[in-house]
Amino acid sequence: MKLRTFGLMLTAAASLGAGPSFAGDSEVMLANNSGHAIREVYLSPAGQNQWGGDRFQDNAAMENGTQIVLKFGARLACVQDMKVVFADNNAEAVMTSLDMCAISKVNLKFDPKTRTTIALKQ
């Protein structure tokens, strides 16, 4: 099964403050139920396409059916885009505008109707 590169817009809660809100020392659970192993995960401030380093420190793939905790520090803005790179074919999936301060879990699932990976926020 071939995955396609795609962008998925997700609605995030907006902050009403005058300046950007930041995450502090926070974490979010990433659950991989996409049907494929994930080799890399990147975060970028929403809409800026400035992907930092791979969030997998040990270079091991995240197998389907597993979950990990992604930790991030005080300098990370709450609303982030997330990019995952799949291990089997280098396909990428990008989820946009995830409010990391408002959610505790991102669950990646494959949608057979659209043949894309979607992110469910919890």
Q: What is the DSSP string of 71-116?
A: EE-TTSBSEEEEEEEETTT--EEEEEEEETTT-SEEEEEEETTTTE
Q: Where are the domains of the chain?
A: 6-10+24-121
pLDDT tens digits for range 59-116: 789 999 999 998 876 667 889 999 999 998 888 989 899 888 888 999 988 877 887 7
| Domain 6-10+24-121 superfamily per CATH | Domain of unknown function DUF5300 (2.60.40.2890)
pLDDT tens digits for range 48-70: 999 988 888 777 899 999 999 98
